[in-house]
Amino acid sequence: MKLWWPRRIIRPRVRLKRPRFTTPTRPPDVVLFGVLFIVVLFILGGNIYTLVRSPPAIAGGSGGSPILISPGIDSQLGLEGIVASVVILMGTIGLGLIYYASKYVFQPGYANRLLLLGMLLSGLSFLIFGYLFGYKLGAFSQG
């Protein structure tokens, strides 16, 4: 007995294969770079020292006012490490913009803007680090 099949409907000839689920061999390069960059910022900011010593995030002064930067170079508060990491990130972005500006030789206006912004970010991060280090050494009064 032959099955009846209408002439207008075409019988599909499909071969279904089992889907293969495999894990990727390694993560993408951008993900690896991002994770490595965050780890380096974490280490350079002194956050490992903060985790080992476990000081309070904010200390109190003699008058009860909060101290955000611990005096002396032998101690560090939790917020100091985060601020240092952000300042390092800002300086790195500035240096990256200076490098990136060299790719726009034939667009001098855009290259000059990138150079100016990069120098501004790098210089500002240098000045912030200088101020924070002077503050920790006691060159500026706290409070």
Please give the sequence-ordered ranges of beta strands (E in DSSP) within the chain, or none if there are none: 59-60, 66-67
CA angle 101, 42, 47 (to 5 degrees): 140
Residue with tokens 């990256």: 96
The CA distance from 20 to 30, in Å, is: 25
Q: What is the pLDDT of residue 5?
A: 61
Q: What is the pLDDT of residue 55?
A: 61
The CA distance from 62 to 17, in Å, is: 74
Which residues contact residue 128 at a Cβ distance below 8 angstroms, ignoring those fewer than 6 apart? 87
Q: What is the pLDDT of residue 3?
A: 63
Q: How would you write the pLDDT of the chain (143 residues) with one tens digit per residue?
A: 566 666 677 767 888 888 888 887 888 889 999 999 999 999 988 888 888 876 666 677 777 777 778 877 887 888 888 889 999 999 999 999 999 999 998 999 999 999 999 999 999 999 999 998 998 888 776 55
Q: What is the pLDDT of residue 27?
A: 83
Tell me the sheet residues that pair with 13.
none
Indicate the domain borders of the chain.
29-57+68-137
Q: What is the pLDDT of residue 96?
A: 94
Q: What is the pLDDT of residue 137?
A: 86
**Eight-state DSSP code of residue 35:** H
